Structure 1
Amino acid sequence: MRTWRLSLLAVLLAATAACHDSKGSKEVKPPPKPAASTTQLVSLAWKPADNNQNLQSFELKLAGAEIVSVCRKPPGWILEGSGAAIKGYATVGAGFVGAEHLDDLEGLFLIRTHAGQALGVSGKLLTGVYADDGGQNEVAATPALLSRQPAAQCPPVKG
């Protein structure tokens, strides 16, 4: 008779465990899907400290994204981008970007972000001061330097 009671007890425990497991599995949510990669148009959000300061060059290395294409170049500049690196520099002093020409830094290049990764940037900018050859400074690049907006491709060239 004891064997019969033990068998019944084992069946009841198994049934309780099965009911408990099925309720628990309904409460478990699937893991969230990682964000899809996107393409974005990037501008440099650099602002001069005063009207005499200008941007002369930059070298940037991206983390969590890659350069898709260079969309436009400020007048008098060379701009090259490949992989996760982009660099640009003025070929002549007249090409330096000052306060009156900040729109030259808009829509420079297109990037593709990597799904599930935050965008990071490292590198430097070289700034100078008009009428002072000794006024150059290196500024460390930060993610705040990049102004981004969703874009599938480079915008058309303005005529």
Structure 2
Amino acid sequence: MELTDEAKPGRGEWMTGGCQCGRVRYRVLIHDDAAYLCHCRMCQRATGGVSIAFKGVKQAELEWLGAKPDEYVSSPIARRGFCAGCGTPLTFRYADSDGMDLTVGSFDAPARFRPTQHFGAESWHEAWLDTRALPSQRVDQNPATVERWMKAVGKLPD
């Protein structure tokens, strides 16, 4: 498929994303809002988290705008893309697949996506699946954090 500046009707919508430092940037055609959470031990180790949110895409519909991500061969069957500059996990792909998973958090507008399934459920930590009842706090409600940001850059992060 030839990548053009405009997505054709019915063929998807362009979305962009990248790493925390901005060295790695991408744009990709997105066809739906479905995403998934992976709880497998390899993803837990690769991210340091209890799970990771992924959006499956076609590699042919993905374009790297800046530096390409560095890759780590994380197993005999898979590779993980990340930014060597800031460490942001960006991709997961099977070596023999034309698909690729992008981390939902690396999209510029991640709120579009909705989890539709779990993968690697044998390794999930049940206490972390539904945390809605826990107390919550916004960044701008924590005076110490606000003071640090204001002192460092004069504003809160986007």
TM over 0.5: no
TM-score by length of 2: 0.21
Using CA pairs under 8 Å that are at least 6 residues apart, name the structure with larger relative contact order, 1 or 2.
Answer: 1
TM-score by length of 1: 0.21
Compare the two structures and name the one with the higher strand fraction. Answer: 1
